[in-house]
Structure 1
Amino acid sequence: MSELLTEVSEEGPSPFARRVLDIIDRIPAGRVMTYGLIATLVNGHPRQVGQVMTRWADETQWHRVVYANGTPATCHGNSALALLRDEGTPMRGGRVELIHALWNG
């Protein structure tokens, strides 16, 4: 079932993937959302959000999506941490301080 939600068509992302990407596009600089929070908003699973990110990350601010413990993604040469810091995202060590940076859409 998750394949159908995230599959690619000739027109681009599936409707599910487009909803995920639209949410990510609205996250302001210096703020983040978790995979789980996005999944809740689109009636999906965090892994489905991850699949969308894997396929379509270059079309959005992928670094603003973090794990539930505030850890940034390690893809793209592990550059998420630097991108988040450049935006002024509240951090403690290598994690985002979710209490200050979480955006609920």
Structure 2
Amino acid sequence: MRGGARDELSESVAEVVADVPPGRVATYGAIAAVVGTGARQVGRILADGRPGWPWWRVTNARGLLPEALRAQAFEQYEAEGTPTRGEGVDLRRAGWVPPF
């Protein structure tokens, strides 16, 4: 993907991620469906990082983040009252689907 298209896609992903309410979580796939790309691409964009965006509110389809990020994410989940289960988020209770 060329720079301009990637920048547009990154902006679209950032907008959807910013819309995820505190205490809720969207999956990479749900965001991908809204912006018209694949879940892995959304993951790559999130991995590039952007100061201030709530990256912990986006998980895989099982409610998990990479192990290296879990402790930091759980601090945020606790602060926001996000329902968790085991090593991840309880998607039945915390799942959020972006409007299409």
RMSD: 2.0
Which consecutive aligned stretches of 4+ in structure 1 deviate over 3 angstroms post-superposition? 73-78
CA distance in 1, matches of 2:70, 2:31: 24
Is it true that 1:14 corresponds to 2:13 in the alignment?
no
Is it true that 1:60 corresponds to 2:53 in the alignment?
yes
Instruction: Give the 3 Å change call, closer, same or farther, for CA 68–58 of structure 1 in structure 2.
Output: same
CA distance in 2, matches of 1:88, 1:45: 29
> What whole-Å deviation, never above 9, does each CA across 1:40-88 have from its counterpart, x for those lacking one?
1111011110111112343410010011001134445841122112210
Q: Is the 8 A contact 1:67 1:73 kept in 2?
A: no
Is it true that 1:104 corresponds to 2:97 in the alignment?
yes
Give identity over the alignment, percent: 32
* TM-score, normalisation: structure 1: 0.81
Following superposition of structure 1 onto structure 2, how do residues 1-105 of structure 1 map, counting pairs within 5 Å? 3-4=1-2, 7=3, 14-76=7-69, 78-105=71-98
Partner SS for 1:49:
helix
Question: Which sections of structure 2, spanning at least 5 residues, go unmatched?
Answer: none
* TM-score, normalisation: structure 2: 0.84
Question: Which sections of structure 1, spanning at least 5 residues, go unmatched?
Answer: none
